[in-house]
Amino acid sequence: MDKILFWGGTGQCKVMKPIANKVGKLTVILDNTIGLKSPYDDVPIYNGDDCFTNWKKDTEDYTNYKFSITIGNPHAKIRRNLSNTLINNGLQPISLIHHTSIIEEDVEIGTGVQIHSGVVVQPFSKIGNYCILNTKSLVEHDCILHDGVELAPGVILCGNIEIGENTWIGAGCTIRQNIKIGKNCIIGAGSMVISDISDNQTVVGVPAKKFLN
């Protein structure tokens, strides 16, 4: 049975633990937040900026662990950087996919992916490394999600959509077919995207427009 490490001890951790325990066992949680308590009595947590260093000191077989970075967006860059740190120290990323999700044939899935309950991914789509597909999100045919993309619960991608790395699509968004969204974007919850979006944009509304604060 695989020993699994989570980095991130709040909401994403809670959702992913049942999935992890279907394929292995969540054994330890790391989190940079000082004083954060583990949500589970049987899973220890290491806190603070030295959490990984301190855990390594206490764990002789740490390179035998697999890991998932259970930190949601808009922190995709952090998620990917932490993944590289753990890989460089000999740990292995694991993709965790809920048994109720539907992943059709001809779908390509990267490493370190998190796919929650009720997700549907249709044929010829590509899901990059360290993407998160939250509960009941729908990825229609021929979509491309680059590394670090997160779909919040209930997102609908209507087909032949490309989303750039580290972009976060908020809960309940609908993206019209044949749309291209750049990298490092934030699409506000409930938005409807009907035209392309360039890199580094925050958009909200129906139809989605650039957010001005």
**CA distance linking residue 10 with residue 207, whole number of Å:** 32
CB atoms within 10 A of CB 138: 20
Quick: pLDDT tens for 106-139.
Answer: 999 999 999 999 999 999 999 999 999 999 999 9
The answer to the question of residue 109 being in a domain is yes
User: Does residue 121 contact residue 139 with C-beta atoms inside 8 Å?
Assistant: yes
> Are both 128 and 77 inside the same structural domain?
no
What is each CA distance from 157 to 68, 93, 127, 173, in whole angstroms? 25, 26, 13, 8
Q: Which domain holds residue 15?
A: 2-93
Question: Mind giving me the DSSP string for 148-166?
Answer: T-EEPTT-EE-SS-EE-TT
Quick: pLDDT tens for 155-196.
Answer: 999 999 999 999 999 999 999 999 999 999 999 999 999 999
Predicted local confidence at residue 213, as pLDDT: 66
> Are both 99 and 198 inside the same structural domain?
yes
Q: Which percentage of the chain shows pLDDT scores above 90?
A: 96
> Are both 177 and 189 inside the same structural domain?
yes
- Number of DSSP helices (H) and strands (E) in the chain, helices first: 3, 24
